[in-house]
Structure formats: C-alpha cells, structure tokens
C-alpha cells in the first residue's frame, strides 16, 4: 500500500490551493505606495549606431518623471557574466561590456535604448513614442558561420571578432580521437540544428525597485529563480550596494524554465531609478517584450561523428558545434555549450575517446542562456540521433546497439571529466520495454498503414548531470560563484517548524515535498512544517533553483539542519527523561528511553527549549534553530530510456504523437505525484521543441516568430497520454536523501525520441530520409519526403 505521508507519499500540492484559487502573490500583485512605472524604448533594428537621442519633447509630456538613457549609466557597472570559459589555447573568452541601457550601439531587436519613468504605464508608453532616436543602421550579424568569416561585421567593435571562445574538450584527447576515427570500421556523421527557443513562462518578468530614504535600504521585487544570486550580482557588480543594504524578494513565480535565473538590465534599472527618483519604480513585461528580452535557449549547430569498430562497439565521438550567444553574455551563457554540454557527451555509453569542439559566437540576436536542461538536451539530442542513424546504416536494432554499448559498472569515469556514481541503464531500458509495449508495435503500424498513415517508433536514452553543485569543481570550470545550498530550520515553542531554504519554488512543489522529508525524519505530520523561500532577508544565502538541484542540494541542506535539530532535541529529551543521551530514540514524534516506557513528546521538548525552566543550560543554549550549508561531492546522474510513437500523414507531412513512454531513474523519490508532473511537463516542452517551437530570425535580425501568432507552443491536443515509470531506482551515493533530481529529464530525453520516431516512420514508407531538423513541422517533413 502506498504511504500516506512522509517520503514516498503523494499528498496533493498545498501551494496549488492558492495558485488555483487566485490567491497567489506574484510580483505583479505587489504594489508599493507611490510607485511609478517604467516603459523601455527598445530597438526595432538588430544593429545600429546611436547618433543622438533627443528626449526634450518626450520629457515634457504628461506624467513623465524622468527619461533615462545610456548616458545616465556612465560610471555604473554593467550586467555581469557569471561564468568564464577558457578556450583551447588557454586564453579567457572574449567578454563584452553589457550596459544597463545601450551605449553607442544597439545590438539586437529588443535592446533597451531609453527608459521612461512616468506616473502611469500608458503615459510612459506615450512619451517613449515621442523620443527621437537618430540611428545609423548597420548590417546585422545573424548566421553564426557567417559571423566568423573574415571581414564579418563585428557585434562588438572593441572585440577582435565575433568569436566568444573556441573550446576544445578534452583538448589533450584530440590526437587519440582522430586516430580512432582513422582506424574505425564504420563512421556515422550527422549535421543538425538544436532549434532556438523562447522559454515562455506563464508569468512574464516583473521588477519593482524601491528605496527607503530613511534607512538607505534598497529592495527589489523580482520574478527570479534565485533572489540571492540577483542580490549578489546586482549589488556587487552593477549598482555597488552591499548585501546588508539590499533586499531581493522573489515571491510566487509563475514558471521559470531557466530564463528567470539570470540578472537582467530591467532589474538593475528599477533599483537604480528608485533611488534616483526616490519613488518605487515598477516594470511589468508585456508578452511581446518577453519574446525580445527574456534570454532565449538552445540554438546550437552541430556536426557529430560516431566511430564504431567491426563489432559495433563505439570507439570514438567527435563533435563540432557552433553555439549562439546572442548579442551579450547572459549570466550563465558561456557554461551551457561547454561544461553543461561537453561533459555529457559520453551519455550512457562506454565510448573511450571523445572530443568536443564548441565555438561560441556573438550575433545580433537576443542573448541565449540556460533553458530547461541547458546543454544536456543539446548533448543528448545529437548523441541519440547519431546512434540511431548508425543503427540504421548498419542494419542493427537501435535498442540492441545501445544496450551493447551501455556502461554497466559504477562508479564510471567518463573520458569527458565526470564520474557517474550510480546507474542501471539496462534496468531503465527493461522498464521502458515493459511500459511501451514494443511487441505490439508492428500491429499498431499495420493499423496506421490501413488508415493511410506512416507509423514510427523512436527510442533513446539520456543521462544528465544535475544537482548542480560541487563548488570546488565548478570553480575550477570557471563559475564565478559557489553552488552549495542552505537551509535554516526554526522550531517554534509548540513544535511547528519553519524551513527557510535558499531553493526557490516556481512550480516545483517544494512547499509540499520538503515537509514530507522533515515529517519522515521527526515522525510528525507534514502540516507542522512550513517552507519559506524567495526573500533574502529571511533565508540564508542560497543559490536558488535550476539544474534539478533543489531536493538534491537544497533538500540535503535541510536534512543536515534538521539533523542538528534532532541532535539538540535528544539532549533536551535526555535531560527531561533523566536518561543518557545515547539511549534516546525519536520515533513518531516521541522521544523515548530505549528499553523503558519513559517518553516525552516532541512538543514538550520544543517547549522546554523556549521555556527552559528545567533545562541543561550549562550544556546547551535555549532555543531551537539550526542552519546548514550543503555542498555535495559530485553531480547527480539521473538517467532514463524514452520511447515515442508517431504517425505521419504522408500527404501533408503532419506528425502526431500517438504514444510516449518514459522510464526514469531518479534514485529515491520523495513525492511520486510531483515527479510524474515534472516528467510530464518536461516531455511536453520537449515535444514542443521537437514539433512546434522555433525562434527564427530573418537575415536582418528581425525575430519572425515574435508572438503566439507565429511561435507555436504545445497545447494539450498536441501531446499524448504519458506512460511514466520511475521504478528503476539506483540511489545517489553521496547525498543523504539518495535523490538525483527530475526537473529537466523530460525536456532532455524527449526530443530525440520524437525525431527518431519520425525518421522511422518515413523510412517505413520507403522514403530515404535520415534526418529532419527540429521543429519537425509538416512543411519540413513534406519537403524531406519530396527532396
């Protein structure tokens, strides 16, 4: 029987009561007394030199308080980049200045030229239209390979070229990898594009800057996945405000998917302007602005080669990737195509030699940064596509080819610098075969064919490195921050607990799952535990939520702090029970003395901590509050095997997803229902990328899909019922919960399954198609069939 509470139970998400009843507290719900509104005048050309900006007429318009331009930010810091990559030759990446408001040039459609602060948002918009900008339009740099050609227009005049870095990994392996290709019995080559995406969280970004003249304190309310990181980056690098004078609050946040990790110019602007004007300043992004100001995701162009020996063992992998950075370096942009991508190129396979080359390129497009999975989907997609192509070229079963090359012994040190602690790739594939009903596929294919449709089955595996952490490791790799997590557990006198965690919840359900862990540890009801997050004045310094790290890192910090609480309460209980501390047992919320009937309840012990009349004051302090910081020894390595069945209409090229099965190994699972939901959402986004979503630019740097009229989001009718399974569990060996993280798995594992299935369907119809780039739109499928 399933558990009804604690670890392994699936209580309904307590936060959904407020989310579904309209009583959430999102940033746009916050209004500060006397607030003004800002509207950003954004560039409508991709590349141009600003000659003059005349704000005279606009400044005189009704309600206008002040119009800011780049000139107002001279001497103010720029938006910092949080990760430095070192190139193949040992040189640091090229890192351009990133001003809060454009200085000298605009570099993408959406770049902020000026900011109008007015009494109302409509007045600010009206005045923005009256600003006269004399702009000399320059040729736009859009295509990455053209951007690297000799004589190409430079996005940043003061850099030597549009190349941010040329990264080789592992550079020392290159000669051995090249030699393995020379000796290979078979080489499969595939060129593909990992399409650019817009994150599209349901809630657009919002920022409110506030300044208290009486105390000199600044407050920023913002839609962030990591308020402490914003406080650090904005305070230390942009505005020069020390942490104790700056509070950052990220309340309920309506989805992030990565794009709310980063520190954005609008946040710095509102905080700066609030102090300059002594008025709170609020900005709420429109959906149209979100398309051209939220960091985009993906946008890699890759050539991957797989070498095999005569027995179909993988002997080497070589990749050549161009990664689009956009016009500026967003907070973690350099890390995505490198350390979050190259280190995953081994996948689930024991390929001994791997070389990854990545050229990161500046273009006149919106900055690109982490989006659900961040680098790992790009690695998984190319690897699982090239393996599928190799199986077809060799005429072998794609599952058998994968199984033959699986890593089976752990820990396993890959040739790309990471060590997988646990995994069971045959186990997840076995689980997949059970739920996906492979044996019934041929009958289903015949049924489709009888209806004039082509049916395809695509299978792939994935591995991801998540629980993004060890600080000492990421420091060596170029991170300019630590990646631990923190928790303070405050026990109240009557026994209830408040956990203040540095992990941020913006859809993950922490307010439900975190209490389950504490309830299990102490043996009390979940309702006695409250989770607080998202306010730098409340939670200890934390690094936030991304990289499937909340439970693995933040949850582990909470466990460590709770262990300290339990240790202290045992001392108090021992005193109250007049027993030795070593004999005290805590079970079901009651302390008892082993081998006796003497006991004292949790609430009596916590009360004693705050009313210490009978208390070991000579040994321990009163009160019951503990903090822990947790910095793990390694990443965690969830893995899985996915299967997708599609139907293709051969007349129109339209692809429909008929079935999708996902077998994941997340290690231990705290709340299976929430994990199911995370997988469902991830697969939905992966299907969106595979079939529908495409942030496409024209040659002038105009975003062609800049609204939902042209940017196709997946809808309920585009996705099938999902078969998900997480019964295959190899617990993480190095965190106290044995958990691995599940937030990104679906988005990482699903795109190759979809495309593999489409290729399978087309080949079943006799079409010589071995690849279709994402999104696999009807038009592209039809073109491939008729090429």
Partner 1 sequence: MYNFDFEKPSTIADAVAALGDDEAQALGGGQTLIPTLKQRLASPSKLVSLKGIGEMQGICIADDGAVCIGGASCHADVAGSSDVFAGLAGLAGGIGDPAVRARGTIGGSLANNDPAACYPAAALGCGATIITNNRAIVADDYFEGMFATALEEGEIVTEVRFPVPEASNYQKFEQPASRFALVGVFVAKYADGVRVAVTGASEEGVFRWAEAEAALSANFSAEAIADLKLDSDGMIADLHGTSEYRAHLVGVLTRRAVAAAA
452 is a contact residue toward partner 1 (CB under 8 A): no
CB of 371 to partner 1, least distance (A): 19
CB of 48 to partner 1, least distance (A): 22
699 is a contact residue toward partner 1 (CB under 8 A): no
Question: Residues 104, 442, 594, 708: which binds partner 1 (CB under 8 A)?
Answer: 708
- The count of other CB atoms within 10 Å of the CB of residue 187 is 17
Burial class (CB in 10 A: 0-12, 13-18, 19+), 686: buried
193 is a contact residue toward partner 1 (CB under 8 A): no
769 is a contact residue toward partner 1 (CB under 8 A): no
Contact stretch for partner 1 (CB under 8 A) within 242-250, 268-276, 456-464, 702-710: 702-710
3-state secondary structure of 399: helix
Question: Residues 137, 713, 721, 766: which binds partner 1 (CB under 8 A)?
Answer: 713
Question: Residues 278, 596, 614, 652: which binds partner 1 (CB under 8 A)?
Answer: 652
CB of 712 to partner 1, least distance (A): 4
> What is the torsion angle, in degrees rounded to the nearest 10, for the CA atoms of residue 361, residue 362, residue 365 and residue 371?
50
CB of 121 to partner 1, least distance (A): 11
Q: Distance from first CA to last CA of the chain, Å, rounded?
A: 56
* Of 591 and 711, CB closest to partner 1: 711
* Of 342 and 653, CB closest to partner 1: 653
* Of 612 and 778, CB closest to partner 1: 778
Question: Residues 86, 492, 702, 705: which binds partner 1 (CB under 8 A)?
Answer: 705
SS3 assignment for 190-251: EEEEECCECCCCCCCCEEEEEEECCCCEEEEEECCCCHHHHHHHHHHHHHCCCHHHEEEECC
Nearest to 334 by CA among 508, 531, 82: 82
Contact stretch for partner 1 (CB under 8 A) within 157-165, 302-310, 347-355, 648-656: 648-656
3-state secondary structure of 126: helix
CB of 123 to partner 1, least distance (A): 12
With DSSP H G I counted as helix, E B as strand and the rest as coil, what are the percentages for the chain, rounded to 5?
A: 30, 25, 45
Query: Are 415 and 343 in contact, with CB atoms under 8 Å apart?
Result: no
CB of 409 to partner 1, least distance (A): 45
Binding-site string for partner 1 from residue 234 to residue 273, where x marks contact by CB under 8 A and - marks none: ----------------------------------------
* Of 77 and 653, CB closest to partner 1: 653
Angle at which helices 556-577 and 510-522 pack, to 10 degrees? 30
d(CA 333, CA 370): 7
Contact stretch for partner 1 (CB under 8 A) within 243-251, 289-297, 325-333, 703-711: 703-711
* Of 650 and 682, CB closest to partner 1: 650
Contact stretch for partner 1 (CB under 8 A) within 345-353, 473-481, 493-501, 691-699: 691-699
Question: Residues 712, 763, 764, 770: which binds partner 1 (CB under 8 A)?
Answer: 712
Question: Residues 288, 422, 519, 752: which binds partner 1 (CB under 8 A)?
Answer: 288
DSSP state of 466: B
Query: Are 297 and 546 in contact, with CB atoms under 8 Å apart?
Result: no
CB of 696 to partner 1, least distance (A): 6
Query: What stretches of 327-469 adopt beta strand conformation (E)?
Result: 353-362, 412-413, 419-420, 454-463
| Segment 196 to 215, residues that bind partner 1, using CB under 8 A | none
Question: Residues 178, 588, 651, 699: which binds partner 1 (CB under 8 A)?
Answer: 651
d(CA 218, CA 241): 8
* Of 126 and 485, CB closest to partner 1: 126
Question: Residues 501, 694, 729, 730: which binds partner 1 (CB under 8 A)?
Answer: 694
Binding-site string for partner 1 from residue 728 to residue 767, where x marks contact by CB under 8 A and - marks none: ----------------------------------------
CB of 533 to partner 1, least distance (A): 35
Nearest to 36 by CA among 230, 215, 210: 210
| Segment 115 to 174, residues that bind partner 1, using CB under 8 A | 122, 125, 129
Question: Residues 148, 477, 601, 696: which binds partner 1 (CB under 8 A)?
Answer: 696
Report strand pairing: 48-54 vs 105-106.
antiparallel
Nearest to 742 by CA among 684, 692, 667: 667
d(CA 354, CA 417): 11
* Of 192 and 691, CB closest to partner 1: 691
Query: Are 354 and 392 in contact, with CB atoms under 8 Å apart?
Result: no
Q: Round the CA-based radius of gyration of the chain to a whole number and report it.
A: 27
Contact stretch for partner 1 (CB under 8 A) within 138-146, 156-164, 546-554, 688-696: 688-696
Question: Residues 136, 397, 525, 710: which binds partner 1 (CB under 8 A)?
Answer: 710
CB of 685 to partner 1, least distance (A): 16
Nearest-5° angle of CA 126, CA 130, CA 135? 130
63 is a contact residue toward partner 1 (CB under 8 A): no
d(CA 641, CA 658): 17
d(CA 769, CA 764): 10
# chain residues binding partner 1, by CB under 8 A: 25
**Phi, psi of 28, deg, nearest 5:** -70, -15
* Of 101 and 785, CB closest to partner 1: 785
* Of 114 and 624, CB closest to partner 1: 114
- The count of other CB atoms within 10 Å of the CB of residue 387 is 29
Query: Are 266 and 27 in contact, with CB atoms under 8 Å apart?
Result: no
* Of 329 and 785, CB closest to partner 1: 785
* Of 114 and 356, CB closest to partner 1: 114
284 is a contact residue toward partner 1 (CB under 8 A): no
Q: Which two tokens stand for residue 418?
A: 């990471």
Contact stretch for partner 1 (CB under 8 A) within 108-116, 196-204, 453-461, 686-694: 686-694
Q: Which two tokens stand for residue 457?
A: 């089955």
23 is a contact residue toward partner 1 (CB under 8 A): no
**Buried b / exposed e across 559-576, counting CB within 10 Å, b at 16+?**
bbbbeebbebbbbbbbbb
* Of 5 and 780, CB closest to partner 1: 780
Contacts with partner 1, residue ranges (CB under 8 A): 122, 125, 129, 288, 651-654, 691-692, 694, 696, 704-705, 708-713, 777-779, 782-783
């Amino acid at each position: 029987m399933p558990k009804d509470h604690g670890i392994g139970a699936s209580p309904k998400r307590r936060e959904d009561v407020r989310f579904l009843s309209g009583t959430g507290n999102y940033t746009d719900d916050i209004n500060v007394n006397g607030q003004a509104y800002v509207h950003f005048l954004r560039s409508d050309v991709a590349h141009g030199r600003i000659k003059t900006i005349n704000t005279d007429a606009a400044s005189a318009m009704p309600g206008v308080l002040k119009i800011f331009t780049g000139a107002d930010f001279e001497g103010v810091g720029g938006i910092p980049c949080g990760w430095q990559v070192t190139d193949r030759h040992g040189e640091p990446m090229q890192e351009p200045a990133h001003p809060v408001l454009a200085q000298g040039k605009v570099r993408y459609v959406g770049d902020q030229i000026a900011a109008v602060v007015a009494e109302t948002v409509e007045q600010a918009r009206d005045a923005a239209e009256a600003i006269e900008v004399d702009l000399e339009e320059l040729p736009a740099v859009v295509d990455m390979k053209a951007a690297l050609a000799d004589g190409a227009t430079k996005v940043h005049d003061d850099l030597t070229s549009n190349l941010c870095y040329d990264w080789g990994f592992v550079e020392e392996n290159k000669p051995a990898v090249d030699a393995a290709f020379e000796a290979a019995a078979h080489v499969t080559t595939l060129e593909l594009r990992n399409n650019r995406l817009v994150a599209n969280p349901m809630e657009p970004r919002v920022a409110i800057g506030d300044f208290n003249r009486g105390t000199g304190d600044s407050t920023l309310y913002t839609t962030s996945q990591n308020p402490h990181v914003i406080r650090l980056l904005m305070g230390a690098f942009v505005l020069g405000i020390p942490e104790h004078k700056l509070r950052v609050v990220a309340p309920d946040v309506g989805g992030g998917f990565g794009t709310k990790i980063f520190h954005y110019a609008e946040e710095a602007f509102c905080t700066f302007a609030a102090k300059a004007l002594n008025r709170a300043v609020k900005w709420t992004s429109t959906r149209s602005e979100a398309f051209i100001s939220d960091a985009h995701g993906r946008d890699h162009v890759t050539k991957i080669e797989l070498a095999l020996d005569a027995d179909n063992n993988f002997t080497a992998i070589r990749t050549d990737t161009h990664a689009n950075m956009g016009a500026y370096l967003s907070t973690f942009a350099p890390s995505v195509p490198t350390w979050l991508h190259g280190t995953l190129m081994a996948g689930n396979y024991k390929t001994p030699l791997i070389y990854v080359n990545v050229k990161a390129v500046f273009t006149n497009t919106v900055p690109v940064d982490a989006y659900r999975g961040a680098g790992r989907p790009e690695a998984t997609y190319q690897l699982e596509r090239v393996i599928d192509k190799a199986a077809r070229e060799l005429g072998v079963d794609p599952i058998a080819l994968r199984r033959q090359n699986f890593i089976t012994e752990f820990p396993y040190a890959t040739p790309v610098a990471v060590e997988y602690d646990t995994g069971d790739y045959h186990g997840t594939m076995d689980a997949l075969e059970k739920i996906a009903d492979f044996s019934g596929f041929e009958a289903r294919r015949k049924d489709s064919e009888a209806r004039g449709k082509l049916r395809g089955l695509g299978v792939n595996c994935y591995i991801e490195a998540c629980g993004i952490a060890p600080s000492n490791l990421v420091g060596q790799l170029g991170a300019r921050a630590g990646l631990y997590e923190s928790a303070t557990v405050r026990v109240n006198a009557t026994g209830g607990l408040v956990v203040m965690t540095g992990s941020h919840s913006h859809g993950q359900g922490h307010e439900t799952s975190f209490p389950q862990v504490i309830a299990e540890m102490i043996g009390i009801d979940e309702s006695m535990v409250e989770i607080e997050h998202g306010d730098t004045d409340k939670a200890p310094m934390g690094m936030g939520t991304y990289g499937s790290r909340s439970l693995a890192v933040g949850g582990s910090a909470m466990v460590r702090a709770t262990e300290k609480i339990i240790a202290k309460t045992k001392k108090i209980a021992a005193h109250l029970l007049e027993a030795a501390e070593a004999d005290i047992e805590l079970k079901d919320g009651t302390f008892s003395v082993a081998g006796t009937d003497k006991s004292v309840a949790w609430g009596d012990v916590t009360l004693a901590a705050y009313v210490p009349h009978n208390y070991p004051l000579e040994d321990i302090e009163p009160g019951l509050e503990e903090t822990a910081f947790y910095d793990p020894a390694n990443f965690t390595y969830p893995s899985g095997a996915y299967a997708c069945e599609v139907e293709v209409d051969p007349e129109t090229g339209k692809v429909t997803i008929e079935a999708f099965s996902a077998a994941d190994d997340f290690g231990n699972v705290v709340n299976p229902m929430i994990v199911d939901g995370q997988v469902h959402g991830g697969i939905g986004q992966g299907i969106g990328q595979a079939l529908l979503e495409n942030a496409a630019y024209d040659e002038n740097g105009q975003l062609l899909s800049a609204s939902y009229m042209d940017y196709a989001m997946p809808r309920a009718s585009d996705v099938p019922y999902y078969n998900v399974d997480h019964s295959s569990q190899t617990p993480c060996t190095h965190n106290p919960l044995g958990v691995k993280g599940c937030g990104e798995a679906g988005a990482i594992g699903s795109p190759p399954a979809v495309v593999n299935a489409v290729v399978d369907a087309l080949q079943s119809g006799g079409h010589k198609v071995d690849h279709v780039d994402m999104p696999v739109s009807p038009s592209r499928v039809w073109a491939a069939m008729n090429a």
